[in-house]
Amino acid sequence: MSISYMRAPDAEHVFEVGDIVEVYCDHERNHDRVRGWIKGIVVQVDNKMLAVQFRSNVFLTDGWMVPDRILWYPLNSEHLRPVQPKKAGRKIVDY
Protein backbone atom coordinates (compact mmCIF):
# COMPACT_ATOMS: atom_id res chain seq x y z
CA MET A 1 0.00 0.00 0.00
CA SER A 2 1.43 3.35 -1.04
CA ILE A 3 0.47 6.55 0.74
CA SER A 4 1.22 9.85 -0.91
CA TYR A 5 1.19 13.14 0.90
CA MET A 6 1.07 16.61 -0.53
CA ARG A 7 4.48 18.21 -0.60
CA ALA A 8 4.80 21.50 1.26
CA PRO A 9 5.10 24.45 -1.12
CA ASP A 10 8.59 25.74 -1.85
CA ALA A 11 8.91 28.99 0.04
CA GLU A 12 11.12 31.84 -1.09
CA HIS A 13 11.69 32.82 2.56
CA VAL A 14 11.81 30.68 5.69
CA PHE A 15 9.73 32.25 8.44
CA GLU A 16 9.85 31.46 12.15
CA VAL A 17 7.67 32.44 15.11
CA GLY A 18 8.74 35.90 16.28
CA ASP A 19 9.81 37.16 12.83
CA ILE A 20 8.63 40.63 11.86
CA VAL A 21 7.00 40.59 8.42
CA GLU A 22 5.04 42.91 6.15
CA VAL A 23 1.65 41.87 4.83
CA TYR A 24 -0.42 43.46 2.05
CA CYS A 25 -3.99 43.66 3.39
CA ASP A 26 -6.86 45.94 4.38
CA HIS A 27 -6.08 47.60 7.70
CA GLU A 28 -6.78 50.68 9.81
CA ARG A 29 -4.46 53.70 9.67
CA ASN A 30 -5.41 56.95 11.46
CA HIS A 31 -9.01 55.68 11.83
CA ASP A 32 -9.30 55.13 8.06
CA ARG A 33 -9.47 51.79 6.27
CA VAL A 34 -6.64 51.46 3.76
CA ARG A 35 -5.14 48.69 1.61
CA GLY A 36 -1.38 48.41 1.74
CA TRP A 37 1.64 46.95 3.50
CA ILE A 38 1.58 46.71 7.30
CA LYS A 39 4.04 45.19 9.78
CA GLY A 40 3.07 42.21 11.90
CA ILE A 41 4.67 39.40 13.87
CA VAL A 42 4.61 35.72 12.96
CA VAL A 43 2.78 33.85 15.76
CA GLN A 44 2.42 30.38 14.23
CA VAL A 45 4.03 28.42 11.37
CA ASP A 46 3.22 25.00 9.94
CA ASN A 47 4.32 23.27 6.74
CA LYS A 48 1.91 25.20 4.48
CA MET A 49 0.62 28.32 6.30
CA LEU A 50 1.66 30.95 8.80
CA ALA A 51 -0.29 33.26 11.09
CA VAL A 52 0.57 36.94 11.47
CA GLN A 53 -0.73 39.14 14.31
CA PHE A 54 -1.00 42.92 14.05
CA ARG A 55 -1.22 45.84 16.49
CA SER A 56 -3.96 47.61 14.54
CA ASN A 57 -7.27 46.36 13.16
CA VAL A 58 -7.14 44.25 9.98
CA PHE A 59 -9.99 43.23 7.69
CA LEU A 60 -10.91 40.23 5.56
CA THR A 61 -11.44 40.78 1.83
CA ASP A 62 -15.22 40.68 2.31
CA GLY A 63 -15.04 43.59 4.76
CA TRP A 64 -15.23 41.93 8.16
CA MET A 65 -12.85 43.12 10.86
CA VAL A 66 -10.75 40.31 12.37
CA PRO A 67 -11.35 40.37 16.17
CA ASP A 68 -8.04 38.76 17.19
CA ARG A 69 -6.02 40.73 14.57
CA ILE A 70 -4.54 37.50 13.18
CA LEU A 71 -4.48 36.66 9.47
CA TRP A 72 -3.33 33.36 7.91
CA TYR A 73 -1.25 33.22 4.72
CA PRO A 74 0.26 30.45 2.58
CA LEU A 75 4.05 30.31 2.92
CA ASN A 76 4.48 31.31 -0.73
CA SER A 77 1.95 34.17 -0.69
CA GLU A 78 2.72 37.23 -2.81
CA HIS A 79 1.10 39.32 -0.04
CA LEU A 80 3.75 38.37 2.54
CA ARG A 81 7.39 39.44 2.76
CA PRO A 82 10.14 39.83 5.34
CA VAL A 83 10.61 43.36 6.67
CA GLN A 84 12.93 45.34 4.41
CA PRO A 85 16.09 46.62 6.11
CA LYS A 86 15.95 50.25 7.15
CA LYS A 87 17.79 52.73 4.95
CA ALA A 88 19.86 55.45 6.60
CA GLY A 89 17.93 58.68 7.03
CA ARG A 90 14.56 57.13 6.21
CA LYS A 91 11.91 56.94 8.91
CA ILE A 92 9.54 53.98 8.80
CA VAL A 93 6.28 54.39 10.65
CA ASP A 94 5.25 51.37 12.70
CA TYR A 95 1.48 50.99 12.92
The per-residue pLDDT string of the chain (95 residues; one tens digit each, 9 = 90 and over) reads 556 556 555 556 789 999 999 999 999 999 899 999 999 999 999 989 999 999 999 999 888 899 899 999 999 999 999 987 666 555 555 54
Question: Quick one: 68 exposed, middle or buried, by C-beta within 10 A (0-12, 13-18, 19+)?
Answer: exposed
Helix (H) or strand (E) segment spanning residue 80: strand 80-82
How distant is the alpha carbon of residue 66 from its chain centre?
A: 13
d(Cα 49, Cα 61) in Å, to the nearest integer? 18
All structural domains of the chain with their residue ranges: 20-82
- Cβ atoms within 10 Å of 73's Cβ, excluding its own: 20
